[in-house]
Amino acid sequence: MFERLRTDILPGLVPRHAKIMVAVSGGPDSMALAHILWRYMREDPAREISLVITHVHHGARKESDQEVKLVQQMAESWKVPCRIHRFDAKGYAKATGQSFQEAAREWRYARWQEDMCEEGCTHLATAHHLGDQAETILYRLLRGSGTAGLAGIYPSKDSIIRPLLTFTKADIFQYCEQEKLPYAIDASNEQPVYVRNRIRLQLIPTLERDYNPRLQEVLGRMGELLRWDEDYLVQQMETAWNLFFLKGQDQSVGLKGEVFKEPAAILSRLLRRAAMLVNQERRGLGYTYVTKIMASQGKPGWKQDLPGLSVRITEEGIWFSKPQKREACAGGSLVADTAKPSCLDIPLVLGSQHKISGLGVEVALLTEEDVASSAAALDGPGYAVAVFSKDFLARTQGSLVCRTRREGDKIWFQGVGHKSLKKVFQEAKIPAAERSRYLLIASGNEVLWIPGLCRSGLCQAEPNSPKAFCVIKPQTGHYNLNSL
Amino acid sequence: MFERLRTDILPGLVPRHAKIMVAVSGGPDSMALAHILWRYMREDPAREISLVITHVHHGARKESDQEVKLVQQMAESWKVPCRIHRFDAKGYAKATGQSFQEAAREWRYARWQEDMCEEGCTHLATAHHLGDQAETILYRLLRGSGTAGLAGIYPSKDSIIRPLLTFTKADIFQYCEQEKLPYAIDASNEQPVYVRNRIRLQLIPTLERDYNPRLQEVLGRMGELLRWDEDYLVQQMETAWNLFFLKGQDQSVGLKGEVFKEPAAILSRLLRRAAMLVNQERRGLGYTYVTKIMASQGKPGWKQDLPGLSVRITEEGIWFSKPQKREACAGGSLVADTAKPSCLDIPLVLGSQHKISGLGVEVALLTEEDVASSAAALDGPGYAVAVFSKDFLARTQGSLVCRTRREGDKIWFQGVGHKSLKKVFQEAKIPAAERSRYLLIASGNEVLWIPGLCRSGLCQAEPNSPKAFCVIKPQTGHYNLNSL
């Protein structure tokens, strides 16, 4: 197994000088992954690879303390830095079953991305294997999915790498045994209470026994074929997007009428993308609504109210907008109209406010106490507000700034991963000349908020955890409020 | 159900003046389908739709005689023509399990296509429903498939229409009850001995109970989304094919070296198509070999022998050829080099031979007795021979001709359906100017054989059934033998 990883897989996933954050739960998969990456790092120091281990303590289970110990001991003996997070299960108490699992999963990814940002890591490595791939594909198939969903887990996407994705659980157990690696067994994984657990523990073994003993391999291959297709289709859609996009007022997004002549594969993706920009839903638009809109054939006058979305077709094209008008100015994007805005780089410290001279804007980073003591702290004409996790800000203290864009800026979205700021601006059709006039809040090149445009999935405040409020207040009329 | 069919579905599938061959087994699905089409036909005579019923008597089961009766009685009372075929189960005795089912299925499609050809039908209607769709998609998923396979059954492809594809079995039973339609139950469908039966009888109900009660609907939607993608990808591949195709010698097919710069979705399809043209396999090339070739990155000098296929990369591009050289002339395509070959239209009658003046070619249609009485009947330098089903020829007696191509010519391939002759020539990269010089054997515009180029899936002789031999013999040197 290590031999195949060393020669065929890792060279393609891990470039020289990579600093890899390895997510280690303490189970066999992630212990094996950490060990493999550690061997790979030490085997040839000329590669100049370094590791950081990150672990999430799931208070929900009693074995959690043992797992933390296991991971910390390993990291210590290897002299690799190790970060521990505690998942606030109480905060997610309302969510049950699958949605709890999903919430916990999304929470972990957000923490890892924050860790990467703080540690300056280039990659995040997770221990997904072929069984996870098969489970994911079947899970999506059973819930209904198109090519994108059935494409399964990517072995490498954005900065996340999954070196074990083509190996089976049996391969991993064998590796642990060979290398005498200790590991913990997460008992909750063995209980068929969650849908995904049932797929793994009951459905896959049944299908292997009754239909195809090589089911996991077959699903893994199917995933790869569909990733090829999906990647190409998305690329073709992007080209078409630039041809058909219309920027509307009031946060509405339009596509030129000729879009209805596009083949269904492209048209359906364009409609989903446009809807997604307005309703902020990951899928954008379900199958039923996509087919409904396609059946309209683009006839001017057609309109339909969908959940969270209002769609209408005019002579110019098809328009997606929010069903209710949002309040006048709140959350409008802030565009600096002074000269040389690129000099702007204002450090933000909790509890203070900064006037940005020449911009007529004041930026404040307020605590809950600040907000509680003044009713007007967050509420004024044209104010833009984002709520951040105070803990995260505390860890990045000193690196949070209000500035304009720089080369290499990126922003992370839940379920999407990192996007370059360039891409975000492109998709919002903001002319290149205007882009450097947008204010943004960032830590390093990790952008957390572009007021009025979009918000990163990182540094989000969780229920019942300390919050910090970033407020941007207009002081004069000397700036523009644009709507996406 | 009829209302939705009448307003939403049938107008899109059945044009005016359609002559529809309905495949009726006597089971509830096909009895309902026949009844629905008959109602639709009678409801508005202005549509000028007509029906022909075709039924296959599967001698294998004892209920078969009752089924024939049921279908014949219905056809009689509706005054609709009805054709009965007898499936020679003995001839397929060697095949067992799934392969027997598949052989029977392919046999049925071939007979139906022949019926359509003889009756002048424009469409074939089959009674596939949502359960069949779900079963097909799961069957392909479990065996391993890409987008094309997971796209499932098409509601309309070539001349085959499937009006019931979005209705459940329960909808169909309800329709039969409502309309008091008699039907037979095929007991062999209820036995979980075949994989497909097990999927239908065991897997789908389990998945519906434990994972998603709307599984069939969800799989039906998935199929539609993937058909959109596959149709677009094939269209993009066709465009690329014309850019990269290289015609080789000795039946080899090549693609220019730059093809390796194409995205994986397109490159993999081009490689499969090229392989398919050489090895005549439906898939062309499996996943393992596709990835192997892609991993070569097109480096000249690379070569590999695959099953039934030899692949090599030269400075010019990548070449697919048969591993062994075929015999010198046999089966070479026959190209007329006389003037005005389009006047050619020679009726073929069993037991006779025709000299084609000016072409230096003799065309003979021989019986088994003719062949048995002369050892040299099929065997001579440059002879091209095709074996036809004598029964089929008997039914088309008088309409079989040797001629050159005409507008509207088409040829039917097993597992593919009809292709226009134009497309066949295009794919073989035969210059437009040369196409009308190719000899072919046809019945109406249904081409059965293009000597040396390809053979239709129709009119194939079955084991233990009477055969007819079509032989084309060169009389002089006055024609060219080309190889594809």
Mean pLDDT by runs of 10 across the 484 residues of chain B is 92 92 93 95 90 84 81 92 81 60 77 83 93 95 92 91 95 95 80 82 94 94 96 95 87 92 97 88 84 93 88 95 55 46 68 74 84 76 83 72 84 80 85 81 86 84 81 62 31
Contact at CB, B141 and A219, closer than 8 angstroms: yes
Asked if the C-beta of A9 comes within 8 angstroms of chain B's C-beta atoms, the answer is no
Asked if the C-beta of B211 comes within 8 angstroms of chain A's C-beta atoms, the answer is yes
Contact at CB, B265 and A232, closer than 8 angstroms: yes
Alpha-carbon distance of A480 to A482, in angstroms, equals 6
- For A407-419, the pLDDT digits (tens) are 888 888 876 778 8
Measured between CA atoms, how close is B142 to chain A, in angstroms?
Answer: 6
Measured between CA atoms, how close is B191 to chain A, in angstroms?
Answer: 15
User: Which residues have a Cβ under 8 Å from the Cβ of A262 and sit 6 or more positions away?
Assistant: A240, A244, A270
Q: How far is CA B418 from CA B222, B333, B445, in A?
A: 26, 21, 11
For residue B343, what pLDDT is reported?
Answer: 52
The arithmetic mean of pLDDT across residues A386-415, rounded, is 80
Mean pLDDT lowest for which of A137-146, A244-253, A348-357?
A348-357
Q: Which carries the bigger pLDDT value, residue B159 or residue A72?
A: A72
The two three-digit tokens of residue A225, written as one number? 């074929």
Contact at CB, B218 and A143, closer than 8 angstroms: yes
CB B470 within 8 A of CB B364: yes
For residue B320, what pLDDT is reported?
Answer: 94
Closest CB to A147: pick one of B147, B199, B231.
B147
CB B348 within 8 A of CB B465: no
Asked if the C-beta of A264 comes within 8 angstroms of chain B's C-beta atoms, the answer is yes
Task: Tell me which residue has tokens 């190996």.
Answer: A167
Contact at CB, B226 and A147, closer than 8 angstroms: yes
Closest CB to A142: pick one of B145, B212, B263.
B212
Contact at CB, A233 and B233, closer than 8 angstroms: yes
Closest CB to A287: pick one of B199, B225, B268.
B225
Mean pLDDT lowest for which of A116-125, A191-200, A473-482, B74-83?
A473-482
Contact at CB, B228 and A144, closer than 8 angstroms: no
Q: How far is CA A445 from CA A17, A121, A448, B212, B396, in A?
A: 18, 12, 9, 43, 76
Contact at CB, B150 and A268, closer than 8 angstroms: no
Q: In what order do the strands lie in the sheet with B156-157?
A: B82-87, B50-58, B19-23, B123-125, B160-161, B156-157
| Domains with residue ranges and CATH for chain A | 2-225 (3.40.50.620), 248-321 (3.30.465), 333-482 (no CATH)
Interhelix angle B169-178/B28-43, rounded to 10 degrees, is 60
The arithmetic mean of pLDDT across residues A61-88, rounded, is 86
Asked if the C-beta of B150 comes within 8 angstroms of chain A's C-beta atoms, the answer is yes
Asked if the C-beta of A293 comes within 8 angstroms of chain B's C-beta atoms, the answer is no
Contact at CB, A143 and B198, closer than 8 angstroms: no
Closest CB to A142: pick one of B143, B207, B225.
B207
- Three-class SS state of B369: helix
Nearest to A74 by CA among A131, A34, A44, A114: A34
Alpha-carbon distance of B354 to B134, in angstroms, equals 52
Closest CB to A229: pick one of B145, B147, B199.
B147
Mean pLDDT of chain A: 84
The two three-digit tokens of residue B373, written as one number? 């009485």
Chains A and B form CB pairs within 8 A to the count of 111
Closest CB to B210: pick one of A198, A211, A226.
A198
Alpha-carbon distance of A210 to A205, in angstroms, equals 9
ipTM strictly over 0.95? no
**Which residues in chain A are closer than 8 Å to B212, comparing Cβ atoms?**
142-144
Contact at CB, B146 and A287, closer than 8 angstroms: no
Contact at CB, B144 and A287, closer than 8 angstroms: no
Question: What element of type H or E holds A407?
Answer: none
Asked if the C-beta of A233 comes within 8 angstroms of chain B's C-beta atoms, the answer is yes
CB A186 within 8 A of CB A63: yes
For residue B484, what pLDDT is reported?
Answer: 24
Asked if the C-beta of B271 comes within 8 angstroms of chain A's C-beta atoms, the answer is no
What are the E-state strand segments in A139-251? Answer: 156-157, 160-161, 245-247
Site from B204, B206, B212, B225 to mutate, A interface, most A CB atoms within 10 angstroms: B225
- In this structure, the dihedral spanned by the alpha carbons of residues A193, A194, A197 and A198, taken in order and rounded to 10 degrees, is 70
**Which residues in chain B are closer than 8 Å to A203, comparing Cβ atoms?**
207, 210-211
Closest CB to A228: pick one of B198, B218, B264.
B264
Contact at CB, B266 and A143, closer than 8 angstroms: no
Asked if the C-beta of A98 comes within 8 angstroms of chain B's C-beta atoms, the answer is no
Measured between CA atoms, how close is A218 to chain B, in angstroms?
Answer: 5
Within A8-164, where are the H helices?
A: 10-13, 28-43, 64-78, 97-119, 130-143, 147-150
Closest CB to A287: pick one of B195, B210, B221.
B221
Asked if the C-beta of B134 comes within 8 angstroms of chain A's C-beta atoms, the answer is no
The arithmetic mean of pLDDT across residues A137-148, rounded, is 93
For residue A435, what pLDDT is reported?
Answer: 82
Within B245-345, where are the H helices?
A: 264-279, 287-295
**Which residues in chain A are closer than 8 Å to B263, comparing Cβ atoms?**
228, 231-232, 235
Contact at CB, A221 and B144, closer than 8 angstroms: yes
